[in-house]
Chain A
Amino acid sequence: MNFQIATLLGQDGLTNGAIYALLALSILLVFTVTRILLIPLGEFVTFGALTMAAMQMGKTPKLEWLLLGLVLIDCALDLYQQIKYHIDRNKMKMIALKLGYAVVIIALLNNVSLSEIPMIAQIALTLCLIVPIGPIMYRLFFQPLADAPALVLLIVSIALHVAMVGIGLLLFGPEGARTQPFSDSGFRLGAVMLKSQTLWVILVSIFLIVTLFIAFERTLYGKALRATAVNRMGARLQGISPVFAGKATFALAAFIGSASGILIAPITTLYYDSGFIISLKGFVGAIIGGLVSYPIAAIGAVAVGMIEAFSMFWASNYKEIIVFTLIIPFLIWRSMNSHSVEDEE
């Protein structure tokens, strides 16, 4: 081990760590606001990466059918409620808007030569395709059970993860895919070659984290979400809709997930089932933060990335074991320090 190798491994660990940090933050966010452990977060990562790869191969991503299907179910449910209770003009407009959005996106995907448009447009289209799936998912699977015990929510979350992995296989096939790097150049820093994609990952991650921080500290919507996280009943009494909070956090999680996927797709081959193990490492980060503290979770996630990179070098056979064993001392420490078990139910 010399300095050069240490920097290369450090660079690698930091890249992965930045992604884990993003995922850890969205796991935390979703958990504090809705009490749901978002296991399917990893699937958003792979959906993002594989949709992007499909576009670059000039294929229309089949994910559009999932979006269309979900939007149709969602609208049908809305319509049913409208007819059953009372018809509200504004709500009807919303339904039309949702349907229109799905149709516009699908029309765009089918009429634009996807492999030739600039990468930024591909990214935008990928995000437009995936992000709405988040809130619809919340509305269909979690909103009816919003007050159920956390365990029930966890079970639904796991079921959703399994279903999404299956859908991933159906939509993207078993082969892995990777995408073009954002920019081809690399540059030298002393004796070490820095890959430009690494910088992209780190910079975009930092940018997203800072934006989230500002959004939560400064904007009304951010404050509303934070209030829901602190005390759901209190927030409700203040007129913050828990449904809105749930949908917003799911949209954010879907956005962060698919953005992470797009970021790492040029560095690595992703398969339809790669997402789980990636989000699990973000989860380790979130656990280190005790599922409450954002900064500690972010630092923990970067540490996971670092430990992963170095254990890959020293003991590649035991890499996963080392990474996931890491969680045990933190669990022990957490359980020794916790004073009481809060029972929400």
Chain B
Amino acid sequence: MTPKKVISALFLSSSLLAPLANADIKIGVISSSTGPIALVGIPQKNTIPLLPTSAGGEKITYLPLDDGSDPTATVKAFKKLIDEEHVDAIIGPSGSGNAMSVIQFAAESGTPMLAPVGTAAVVLPMTEQKKWVFKTTQNDDLIAEALVEHMKSTGVKTIGLIGTADPYGENWAKVMKDLTQKSGIQIVANEKFQRQDTSMTGQSLKVLMANPDAVLIAAPGSSSVMPQTTLKDQGYGGTIYQTHGAALDPFLRLGGRAVEGTILAASSMLVLDEVPNSPSKEIAAKYIEDYKKLHGETPATFGANVLDAGLLLENAIPSALKSGKPGSAEFRSALRDALEKTKEMPATQGVYNMTAEDHSGFDERGRVLITVKDGKWALLK
């Protein structure tokens, strides 16, 4: 045989043998551990070794892939996992835009997809395609409700918005518009910025001129810091609200004194010591401890979203195994049905109750109001 033939023969046999060799449950994990949203993707990738390794007596294998934050690469990775690896479910991707671009492929192949992304648009409004998608983060409006309630109770009448010019900021602007209308709060300024902007003077001056009672900054990760420091530098004295996108330790480090007193709503993971005991608290505490042991740092909540996806699957697999063997279309479809029937399942981010309409499944147990006190996160009392 020529070398070329040998190689192709090897390839053929390996691709034939692979499905026989392990009849385990195969889960693909796509994260963006490089590229612009690496801040979200790296803790997610780091969480993969902590995911459950077996469920219902079957071994679970995880197949991690990196999409470099690029939606095209996400689609490729998705197709590879579905067509070549025949995975039973996919956890990921990290980015909202990336997730939006692969929903149709999950639906076409009948593969359940558990997206640890922020935007509610991946599961709302529910369509035939989105039936295959589950979301392991709180919907923006759940977080926003908590903030708007707090604004109302403290007598805030006018607010200014500063958001990133990406799906994250846009969606928050939309959600806030709906919610504030109902509560009689007026949005007097709505400014946008880019994550990489080196200056925010213009936007914050515009907000200052409108003189709102409070300002909400909607930006993912450490990009949420600059609008706030600029506002403080220019002497803004009102309350500043942040979204759960800011709930990261770099926010405290970069912001320093300027972020003192910020109010945000996020999962209780940040203030575990202060919240009352609950099954969620135990799971989150264990996750944080394991993660610290493995990587030597505290995990961001983004990582916990992936762990929750793993827990949801672990919970759903035993009942799905009754309907088919792993690797078959029946199994995947049964897995989807079982995920949709998840009831009162505690996980790091709260308690899941999935229904045919709600594929995020969180209620107010999934969020608490948090503030920054002496450079640390503290429960808002």
Which A residues fall within an 8 A CB radius of B?
5, 8-9, 12, 15-16, 166, 169, 173-178, 195, 264, 267-271, 273-274, 277-278, 308-314, 316-317, 319-320
Given contacts A166-B34, A174-B38, contact A316 B223 (CB under 8 A): no
Q: What are the residues of chain A within 8 A of B196 when measuring CB–CB?
A: 271, 273-274, 277
A-B pairs with beta carbons under 8 Å apart, 11 shown: A9-B202, A175-B39, A175-B250, A264-B198, A269-B222, A269-B226, A269-B254, A271-B222, A273-B196, A278-B198, A313-B203
Distance between Cα atoms of A310 and B198 in the complex (Å): 14
Tell me, in angstroms, the Cα distance from A16 to B199 when the chains sit together.
Answer: 8
Task: Give chain A residues whose Cβ lies under 8 Å from the Cβ of B193.
Answer: 312, 316, 319
Knowing A5-B209, A176-B250, A274-B196 are in contact, say whether A313-B202 is a contact too (CB < 8 A): yes
Are B34 and A8 within 8 A (Cβ)?
Answer: no
Task: Note all chain A residues with C-beta closer than 8 A to B254.
Answer: 176-178, 269
- With A5-B209, A169-B38, A176-B250 in contact, is A317–B201 under 8 Å at CB? no
Q: Smallest CB–CB gap between A271 and chain B, Å?
A: 6
The answer to the question of B214 belonging to the interface, with a C-beta cut-off of 8 Å to chain A, is no
**A317–B199 touching, CB < 8 Å:** no
Given A277-B194, A312-B199, output 4 extra A-B contacts at Cβ < 8 Å.
A5-B209, A175-B221, A176-B222, A320-B194
Chain B residues, CB < 8 A from A173: 42
Chain A residues contacting B203 (CB-CB under 8 Å) are 312-313, 316
Write out the residue numbers on chain A whose beta carbons fall within 8 Å of the beta carbon of B368. none
CA distance A176 to B222 in the complex (A): 6
Residue from B42, B199, B202, B209 in contact with A268 in the complex, judged by beta carbons closer than 8 Å: B199
Contact of B206 with A313 in the complex, beta carbons under 8 Å = yes
With contact pairs A176-B223, A177-B254 given, residues A316 and B202 touching in the complex (Cβ less than 8 Å): yes
In the assembled complex, the Cα of A178 lies from the Cα of B205 at a distance in Å of 22
Grouping DSSP codes into helix (H, G, I), strand (E, B) and loop, the A interface class, with mixed when no group exceeds half, is: helix
| Interfacial residues of chain B within 43-66, with CB under 8 A of chain A in the complex | none
Q: Identify the 7 closest CB pairs spanning chains A and B, nearest first.
A: A312-B202, A313-B202, A174-B38, A174-B39, A12-B201, A268-B198, A176-B222
Q: A176-B223, A269-B225, A316-B192 are in contact. Are A5 and B198 (CB under 8 A)?
A: no
Measured CB to CB, the closest approach of chain A to B336, in angstroms, equals: 33
B226-270 residues at the A interface, CB under 8 angstroms: 226, 233-234, 250, 254
Asked if A9 contacts B198 (CB within 8 A), the reply is no
Contact between A269 and B206 (Cβ–Cβ < 8 Å)?
Answer: no
- Count class of interface residues, chain B: 20 to 34
B194 to chain A, nearest CB (A): 6
Is B191 an interface position by the 8 A CB rule?
A: yes
Cα distance A323–B34 in the bound complex, in angstroms: 28
Q: State A317–B199 Cα separation when bound (angstroms).
A: 14
Measured CA separation A268–B197 after assembly (Å)? 8
In the complex, what residue of chain B is closest to A278 when comparing beta carbons? B198
Chain A residues with CB under 8 Å of B234's CB are 8
Residue B294 lies at the interface, judged by CB distance under 8 Å to chain A: no
Please, which residues of chain A bring their CB within 8 A of the CB of B279?
A: none
Complex Cα spacing A149 to B222, Å? 42
Q: Does B36 contact A (CB under 8 A)?
A: yes
B residues with a Cβ closer than 8 A to A are: 34, 36, 38-39, 41-42, 165, 191-203, 205-206, 209, 221-223, 225-226, 233-234, 250, 254
A contact residues around B198 at 8 Å (CB): 16, 264, 267-268, 270, 274, 278
In the complex formed, the residue of B with least CB distance to A178 is B254
Within 8 Å by CB of A267, from B34, B38, B199, lies: B199
Q: Considering the chains assembled together, what is the distance between the CA atoms of A176 and B233 in angstroms?
A: 19
Question: Does A309 contact B39, Cβ atoms closer than 8 Å?
Answer: no
Residues of chain A contacted by B195 (CB below 8 angstroms): 271
Cβ-defined contact, A273 with B36, below 8 A:
yes
Give the distance in Å from the alpha carbon of A229 to the alpha carbon of B165 in the complex: 41
Contact B34 A169 (CB under 8 A): yes
Query: Are B194's CB and A268's CB within 8 A?
Result: no
Most chain B CB inside 10 Å of its own CB: which residue of A166, A267, A312:
A312
Across the interface, name the chain A residue whose C-beta is closest to B208. A5
Please name the residue on chain A nearest to B36 by beta carbon.
A273
Q: How far is the CB of A62 from chain B (nearest CB, A)?
A: 15
Alpha-carbon separation in the docked complex, A332 to B39 (Å): 40
Tell which of B202, B221, B223 touches A310, judged by Cβ atoms closer than 8 Å.
B202
The smallest C-beta distance from A268 to any residue of chain B, in angstroms, reads 4
Q: Decide: A12 and B202 in contact? CB cutoff 8 A.
A: yes
Chain A residues within 8 Å of B36, by CB: 273
Residue of B nearest to A272 (CB): B38
A269 touches B221 (CB 8 A): no
| C-alpha spacing A51/B194, complex, angstroms | 23
A residues in contact with B233, CB < 8 Å: 195
B98 → chain A closest CB, angstroms: 16
> Which A residue sits closest to B200, measured CB to CB?
A312
Measured CA separation A173–B165 after assembly (Å): 23
Knowing A176-B250, A316-B193, say if A309 contacts B202 (CB, 8 Å): yes
Give the CA-CA distance A5 to B203 in the complex, in Å.
Answer: 11
A169-B34, A274-B198, A316-B191 as given contacts; A269 in contact with B223, CB under 8 Å: yes
**A174 CB contacts on chain B under 8 angstroms:** 38-39, 41-42, 221
A311 CB contacts on chain B under 8 angstroms: 202
Docked pose: A144 CA to B198 CA in angstroms: 36
Residues of the A chain whose Cβ atoms lie less than 8 Å from the Cβ of B197 = 268, 312, 319
Nearest chain A CB to B340 CB, angstrom units: 34
Determine the chain B residues whose CB is within 8 A of the CB of A319 once the complex forms.
193-194, 197, 202
Residues of chain A with a CB closer than 8 A to B165's CB: 316-317
Is B199's CB under 8 angstroms from A12's CB? yes
Q: How far is the CA of A178 from the CA of B234 in the complex (A)?
A: 19
Complex: how many Å from CA A169 to CA B41?
12
Residues of A within 8 A of B206 (CB): 313, 316
Nearest residue, chain B, Cβ from A269:
B226
B7 CB to nearest chain A CB (Å)? 29
Enumerate chain A residues within 8 angstroms of B191, measured Cβ to Cβ: 316
Q: Whole-angstrom distance from the CB of A68 to the nearest CB of chain B? A: 23
B174 to chain A, nearest CB (A): 15
CA distance A235 to B206 in the complex (A): 54
Residues of chain B lying within 8 A (CB to CB) of residue A264: 198
Q: Give A176 to B194 CA distance when docked, in angstroms.
A: 14
Q: How far is the CA of A173 from the CA of B206 in the complex (A)?
A: 33
Q: Which of B39, B201, B205 has the most CB atoms of chain A within a 10 A radius of its CB?
A: B201
